[in-house]
Structure 1
Amino acid sequence: MTLSIDNGGGKTPQRQKVMVVAEPTRESAVALHYVLSHVVFDNDVLYLLHVENPTFWNSCFKKQSSSTTITAAREGGGCHGCGCIGGDFDFLDQMKSACELVNPRLKVKVARVETDAKDKAYMIISQTKVLGIDLLVVGKRHSLANAILRQRRNGPTRGETAEYLVENSKCTCVAVQRKGQTGGYLLHTKNHRNFWLLA
């Protein structure tokens, strides 16, 4: 199941705009891999959208005991003790470089926006409208992981955000999960649930 834009018959395919919700997580990397291998073509435009929560980062860094520790957390990829995943501030550049390496003719753009965690899904949908996105792709955690995370913190988990985006996005939205190490992808859209696509 390759989700791309219908070009209306035998005409030259139109350039499509695809957005990936970019985070320093395994799920986001899976979503990007799916897009690069099954969705985008030469001269398409790929947006890597990262939604930052300034309130979360501020509270995270306030827990550090010294500026040296904060600098190490920023540079070394770890917000120790505050529950964030990864913490590498260069992950967007790494994702962009990986995209350009796989497909040099693909136009890759990076976008960063700030909002509170509760408004994350709304902000993503808002950006798809502003940028005229044709296809939105988001990584999705397994349901067991979602249940565990829900008990540990307030606000929507990534899985809930993915579900909200699938149900409420005006453009087509695909939530992607990895099915085993070599088993392909499990895709979720508004009209297709648990669609298994071989890698």
Structure 2
Amino acid sequence: MTFSVANSGANASQRRKVMVVAEPTRESAAALHYVLSHVIFENDILYLLHVENPTFWMNRISYFMKQASMSTHTNAAGESGGSNDGVGGGCIGGNIDFLEHMKNACELVQPKLKVKALKIESEARDKGYVIISQTKMLEIDLLVVGKRQSLANAILRQRKNGLMIRGDTAEYLLEHSECTCVAVQRKGQTGGYLLHTKTHRNFWLLA
């Protein structure tokens, strides 16, 4: 069974613009897997959008540099396999090149699919606002985002005077996106997906 809201009644002869919010997380990988296996057609255009706060990464890199410096002074100069390996490219490098890995994975699964990887640097605290601005500018038909359900997110979805107080990016996009938006939760490796839209919640889809 196909989620009709996600497909928007499209067929293989119609070209659509589909955007996936790309992050180095399991939730984002699940959203991309859902799109490739249930939504996208080879004549569609797939956008992988990553919104990055450069100030955040400057602070993160500075922190790791300090940790590496402390480790260097603590360990003997001749030791191998010290803590530098734990500080190095695993976190920083992974966040720098993960977007290209996602793009390559899409092209491997669907070689004829047109994939565009976009990285936007923004100082804005509201990542959701930046994403929605991009969907409007690129005239996106369908926006897909990975979603992590937690007690904190449920609490943060409380409303005040009809407005969202604060919530995760997925909830913000579901509430404010002008194009069709689907938030995806993966239920185990073979358990399927829980899909959410602004008007439909917890729609179950088998993998």
TM, length-normalised to structure 2: 0.78
Give the 3 Å change call, closer, same or farther, for CA 74–125 of structure 1 in structure 2: farther
From 117, 134, 140, the equivalent of 1:133 is 140
Distance 2:43 2:131 in 1: 23
Aligned equivalent of 2:89 = 76
Q: Is the 8 A contact 2:68 2:87 kept in 1?
A: no
Alignment of 1:94-109 (within 5 A): 94-109=101-116
Shift in Å, 1:64: 3.1
2:114 matched to 1:114? no
Unaligned runs of 5+ in 2: 70-83, 156-165
Count of aligned pairs: 182
Which residue of structure 2 lines up, in the alignment, with residue 177 of structure 1?
A: 185
In structure 2, the residue corresponding to 1:76 is in which secondary structure? coil
Residue in structure 2 matched with residue 5 of structure 1 by the alignment: 8
TM superposition shift of 1:43: 1.4
* Aligned Cα root-mean-square deviation (Å): 2.9
Partner of 2:26: 26
Residue in 1 aligned with 2:59?
Answer: 59
Larger Rg: 2
> Equivalent residue of 2:96, what SS?
coil
Unmatched runs of 5 consecutive residues or more in structure 1: 80-85, 149-155
Q: In the alignment, residue 6 of structure 1 is paired with which amino acid?
A: G
Q: 1:37 to 1:74 in 2, by over 3 A?
A: farther
Q: TM-score, normalised by structure 1?
A: 0.81
The structure showing larger relative contact order (alpha-carbon pairs under 8 Å, at least 6 residues apart) is 2
Please give the per-residue CA displacement for 1:95-149, whole angstroms capped at 9, x wherever unaligned.
001100110111000111112362200000000000010000000012247479x
